[in-house]
Structure 1
Amino acid sequence: MRINESAYDRRRLRQWLGGEARAEGVSRRDLLRLAAAAGVLTTFTAAQPAVAQPARAVADTPAPPSPAPGIVKPVPPELFTIRGTNAETNWPALHGTGYHTPIDRFFVRNHTSTPVLDADDWSLKVWGSGLRGAPGVERAVEFGYRDLRRMPSVTVDAFIECAGNGRSYFTSQQGDPATGTAWTLGAIGSARWRGVPLSHVLRLAGLTRHAVDLQPRGLDDTWVSNGTDLGHVRRPLPLAKALDDVVLAYEMNGEPLPYDHGHPVRVLVPSWVGIANIKWVGDVEVSAEPLYSPWNTDFYRLFGPGHPEGGSAPLAGQTVKSAFEVAAGADFAVGRRHRLTGRSWSGGGGIRRVEVSTDGGTTWRHADLHDRPRASAWSRWSTDWHPTTPGPTTLLARATDTGGRTQPSHTAPNAQGYLFDAVVRHPVTVVA
C-alpha cells in the first residue's frame, strides 16, 4: 500500500494543533517548525520563530573509535568496515554468495550496543488508546515469544537499508558536506524473514477504528545525544502501513534472529528506511492520537537548501541504488574477459533495467538481470567486460525500477546525508 507521507504528516500536525496529538520527547517549538514546513501554519509569533535548519545532533553520529563496540558477532576486516557502533558490509564479500545476504556478512546498524536477550524471558506489550478497553482504562496485552511462534506466519524476501547508505558520496563525489556515519553502499542487506503479520497481532490485541498511529520501541539502551537522553529508539508508523505488510520477524534466513539483528523479535517494514525496522522490539503503542518522536522530527527528515523550511516530511520509502561487487581501486588485466557483477534495489518497486558503463559514462550497455523484479527486494546483475587499453577508468551502474525511477547523476544535498541515489563512480585500473 502506497502511503502519502506528506499528506499524512499534514493531517497529524493539524491534529496536534487541535490538541489531539502527543509528542514524546519533542518540543512545542519543533512541532511548530514542522507545522510550518507542512503548510499547516503560515506565520509565527516572535517568541516562536521558524528554524530553517536546527542545530542538533544527527541520528547517525559516530561513536568513539573501537574495533567493534557493542557488536556480538565477529566482524573481520575482509567482510566489514567498522564505523563507530556500526559494521558496514564490504561489497566484494557478497560476490558469489547468492540472493540472500549471509548472516555473517549482514551489516549492523546500532545506536548503542547489541543487547543479549533471552527469548524465554521476552514479551511484547501492545498497548495504547487505539485498543479496546474499559472506559478510562488504557488496555495493554502481552504476547510471549512462544505465543508469536504459534500464530500464522509469513515469509518475506526484503532488504533493510539505512537511510544514510551512500552518505559519504555526498562529500567525496559531489562536494556537498553531510554529517553522520560515512557509509559507502554497504549499509544494506537482503534476507528471507519469517514472522507474524503485525496486523494479526494488532487485531488480537483489540485494535479499534480510532487508531491512527503505532510506535514500536526497542529494548536496547537509551540513546544519549549531546548530553540529552532521548530514550529508547522508536518511530511512529501510520496505521495503513502497519496493516499492509509490516511483520514481527523472528527468523532470518531460516535461523532464529541473531542478537545483532534483533533477537528475539524485530519489526520488518518492507521498502521503508531502516530506522522504521525497530530491532529488539519490546512494545508497540497503538494510539488514537498522532505520535511524534525525535526519530521522525529531529532525525530522518531532509533539512537544508532545496528542502522545505523546517524540513521535509518524515522519510518513508527508499531510493534507487546500484553497487558493484568489486573493490574500489581493483586491477583488471588488459585484453582479458572479466565478468562484472553487482546488485540494484529500490523502495519504489522492483528493478526493471540496469545499465553499466566501463568508460566513465561515455557509453552504456544493458546488464543481464538474474532476478525478476520484486518489490522491497534487490536484483543481481552481471555483464562482460573486455578492456583493451591500460590505465585508470571508472565503472558506473544505473538502475531503473518498475515505477519508472532511474538513478540520477546528482542527488540534491541535505544536511544529514540521507537517501543518496546518484550513480556512484567506481574507480578501477586496467593493467598490462
Structure 2
Amino acid sequence: MTSARRTVLKLLATAPVAAHVARATPAAAAEPTPGIVKPLPPELFTVRGSNAETRFAALRGTGYHTPVDRFFVRNHTSTPLLDARTWSLTVWGSGLRGGPRRFSYRELRALPSVVHDVALECAGNGRNFFTTQQHDTVTGTPWTLGAVGVARWRGVRLAEVLRRAGIGGHAVDVMPRGLDAEYVAGGVSKGRVRRPLPVAKALDDVILAYEMNGAPLPHDHGFPVRVVVPAWVGIASIKWLGDIEVSAEPLYSPWNTEFYRLFGSAYPADGGTPLTVRNVRSAFELDHGSVFAAHRIHHLTGRSWSGLAPVTRVDVSTDGGTHWHQARLEDLPRRNGWVRWSFPWRPRTTGPAELLARATDAAGNTQPDRTVPNTQGFLFDAVVRVPVTVG
C-alpha cells in the first residue's frame, strides 16, 4: 500500500460521517429491533437478524415496482441515519489524473440524471432451499426467495462522476465504500462494506442513485446516495456511499475474497472469480403451505427474473413436475428487471400438492432441478418446490 493511499484511508476513517451512525453490535447481543428504520409488519416481512425478507405473498397485486414499504432490507450491521446537508462523496486514488475530488449532495443532484428500473437481489437469495430441498449444509442467512425487489432508481451515472473526478486511462478498479458501521465477523473487524468493480463495468451502466420509486432514498435503502449495479449480485450495490477509490492496480476487500465467491468440493480452492451476474429464478406470490379449494379456478401468480438476459418464458407445474404448462407473461421481457406471470389452476383432487415454476431467459438460461452446492449458499437457482394443500 502506498503512503498516499494510507493517508487518504486514515482521513476517511476519521472524518465525521454525519448526524448519526448506528453502531454495530456483536452477533451474540440480541437486539429488540434489527437495526432497521422502517416498520416490519409480519404480514409483509420475515425478520432475519439484521435483515428483513419480503414475503412474496405480499407482492400480489402491487404492480411492477416493489413498494418501498415491502422492499427487502439487507444490512451487514445497522441502518445509519445520515444527513444529506453534511454528507459528501470523496473520489480518490491512484487511478485519477489529479488529487481527490469531493461532491456534495446538492452538486451530485445537479448533474445530468438517468432513470432505470433495476432489480436488486442478495446473492444468498434462496439459500434456505439448499438445506430444505437439497439437504446440503450451507452457512448464512436462510433467505427463501424474498431477498429481491425491483425499483425505479434515479441518479447520476457513475461514469459521469468519475469523468468529472479525472479518471485516467490507467485506472483498473473502482471501489465504492459505505458509511455503515464496521462489520465484525468472528471477532475480527472487516471494516466498512466495500467491493471493487472493474473499471469497464463502472463506466458502463452503474448509477449513483438518490431516488427510489420517485422519492428520496429511504434510510434503509441507502440514503442519501447508493450504488446501483444492474444485473449484478446485490453486494455490488453499496448503500450509504461515502467514498470511491479509483485505483491503477487491482483492489481487494473481504467482500470479493472471503465472501461472495463459490467455495466447496465442486469449486476451486480459492473460490474462483468473485460473483458478479445474477442467475435465473422464479417465485410464486403465495406462502408455502397455502390451502386451495378443490374444483375451483385459482389464478396463480408469480415473478421471474435473470441478470443474464430478459426472461422470455415461464412454465408452471401443479403436479410436482410431472406435467408442465406455459404461463402467461404479464410484462414485456426487459433487461435488469423481472416479469410477472399468471396461470389458471383448477385442482380436481384433494390432498397435498406441489407447485413449481421454471423460467427461461432470452439467452437460453433456464432453472435446473438442482443447484451445485457451495458452502456459503450463494446463487441458488434450482426450481423451488412449493408445498400446498387442496381441501
TM-score when scaled to structure 1?
Answer: 0.84
- Give CA-to-partner distance per residue, 1:253-281, whole Å, 9 cap, x none: 00000000000000000010010000000
- Give CA-to-partner distance per residue, 1:352-380, whole Å, 9 cap, x none: 10000000001000000011111111000
- Equivalent runs, 1:15-414 vs 2, <5 Å: 65-66=30-31, 68-133=33-98, 139-414=99-374
8 Å CA contact 1:369, 1:382 repeated in 2:
yes
- Structure 2 SS opposite 1:240: helix
How much has 1:67 moved relative to structure 2? 5.0
How much has 1:64 moved relative to structure 2? 5.3
Distance 1:179 1:62, change over 3 A: farther
How much has 1:225 moved relative to structure 2? 1.0
8 Å CA contact 1:63, 1:85 repeated in 2:
no
Distance 1:142 1:101 in 2: 33
Distance 1:68 1:207, change over 3 A: same
8 Å CA contact 1:123, 1:144 repeated in 2:
yes
- Give CA-to-partner distance per residue, 1:305-345, whole Å, 9 cap, x none: 11112212100000100000011100000000000000000
Counterpart residue type for residue 286 of structure 2: V
Counterpart residue type for residue 105 of structure 1: R
Counterpart residue type for residue 364 of structure 2: G
Distance 1:260 1:364, change over 3 A: same
Q: Which runs of 5+ in 1 are unaligned?
A: 1-15, 24-60, 134-138
8 Å CA contact 1:68, 1:82 repeated in 2:
no
Distance 1:109 1:63 in 2: 19
Distance 2:228 2:335 in 1: 14
8 Å CA contact 1:324, 1:341 repeated in 2:
yes
Q: 1:37: which partner in 2? A: none
8 Å CA contact 1:62, 1:85 repeated in 2:
no
- Give CA-to-partner distance per residue, 1:375-418, whole Å, 9 cap, x none: 11100000100111001000000000111100000000000000
Distance 1:299 1:310 in 2: 11
Counterpart residue type for residue 352 of structure 2: P
Distance 2:192 2:233 in 1: 18
Distance 2:106 2:306 in 1: 34
Instruction: List structure 1 segments (4+ residues) > 2 angstroms apart after TM superposition.
Output: 61-68
8 Å CA contact 1:132, 1:206 repeated in 2:
yes
Q: 1:45: which partner in 2? A: none
Counterpart residue type for residue 205 of structure 1: A
Identity %: 66
How much has 1:94 moved relative to structure 2? 0.3
Q: 2:21: which partner in 1? A: none
Distance 1:211 1:115, change over 3 A: same
Distance 2:236 2:303 in 1: 23
Counterpart residue type for residue 304 of structure 2: S
Distance 1:67 1:331, change over 3 A: farther
How much has 1:68 moved relative to structure 2? 3.4
8 Å CA contact 1:64, 1:84 repeated in 2:
no
Counterpart residue type for residue 294 of structure 1: P
Counterpart residue type for residue 126 of structure 1: V
TM-score when scaled to structure 2?
Answer: 0.93
- Give CA-to-partner distance per residue, 1:54-107, whole Å, 9 cap, x none: xxxxxxx97755453110000010000000000000000000000000000000
Aligned residues: 370
Distance 1:110 1:64 in 2: 16
Q: Which one is further off, 367-376 or 271-280? A: 367-376
8 Å CA contact 1:345, 1:379 repeated in 2:
yes
Q: 1:3: which partner in 2? A: none
8 Å CA contact 1:63, 1:84 repeated in 2:
no
8 Å CA contact 1:68, 1:75 repeated in 2:
no
Distance 1:394 1:267, change over 3 A: same
Distance 2:357 2:71 in 1: 22
